[in-house]
Structure 1
Amino acid sequence: MEVATATEASAPAASAGPSRRSHPFPWLDLAISEPYYFLHLVAFFSYFAARSTVLSPDDGGELPSRLLRREIQAVLAFLVLFVVKIVKEENWETFIGDSLLYAKGLLLAVTLVIDYWLTITYLLGFLVIYAVAQQPPYDGLGHSNHLTPLQLEGLLTEEPATRFWLVEFRTSFSGTCIQASSVLPELSNIYSNKNISFGIIDLGHFPNAAAKYGISMWDHLPTYILFDKATEVARFPEITSESKVFVPKITKKLLCQHFNLDRRLIEYLSR
Structure 2
Amino acid sequence: MVQKREGRIKWLNRMVSEPYYFLHFIAFFSYLPIRSSASPYVSDRLLDREIQAFLALMMLSAVKMVREETWEAFIADILFYAKIFLIAVSLITDYRLALWYSVAFSVIYLLALQPAFDKLGTAKKLTPLQLEELLSEGNTTTCWLIEFYASTSSAFVRSSRCFPELSITYSNDILSFGIVDLGLFPNVAAKFGISLAGGMSQLPTYILFEKGTEVSRFPDFYVEATPSLPITKKLLCQHFELDRLLLDYVKGS
TM-score of the superposition, structure 2-length normalised? 0.93
Gapped runs of 5+ residues in structure 2? none
Which residue pairs with 2:211 in the alignment?
229
Q: Which amino acid aligns with 1:243?
A: A
Structure 2 counterpart of 1:132, from 103, 108, 111: 111
Partners of 2:180 and 2:8 in 1: how far apart? 34
Which residue pairs with 1:162 in the alignment?
141
Secondary structure of the residue aligned to 2:203 is coil
CA-CA distance at 1:24 after TM superposition = 5.3
Which residue pairs with 1:32 in the alignment?
16
Which residue pairs with 1:6 in the alignment?
none
Structure 1 counterpart of 2:26, from 31, 38, 42: 42
Q: 1:158 to 1:263 in 2, by over 3 A?
A: same
Which residue pairs with 2:44 in the alignment?
65
Structure 1 counterpart of 2:161, from 178, 182, 188: 182
Which residue pairs with 2:173 in the alignment?
194
1:220-256 per-position Cα deviation (integer Å, ceiling 9, x unaligned): 1110000012111000011236436x41000000000
Secondary structure of the residue aligned to 1:31 is helix
Q: 1:82 to 1:34 in 2, by over 3 A?
A: same
Which residue pairs with 1:78 in the alignment?
57
Q: Which amino acid aligns with 1:128?
A: V
Secondary structure of the residue aligned to 1:197 is strand
CA-CA distance at 1:53 after TM superposition = 2.2
| Larger relative contact order, structure 1 or 2 (CA cutoff 8 Å, min sep 6) | 1
Q: Which amino acid aligns with 1:52?
A: S
The 5 Å alignment of 1:191-270 reads 191-218=170-197, 219-240=201-222, 242-243=224-225, 246-270=227-251
TM-score of the superposition, structure 1-length normalised? 0.87
Partners of 2:223 and 2:15 in 1: how far apart? 41
Contact 1:31 1:41 in 2 (8 A): no
Q: How many residues matched?
A: 248
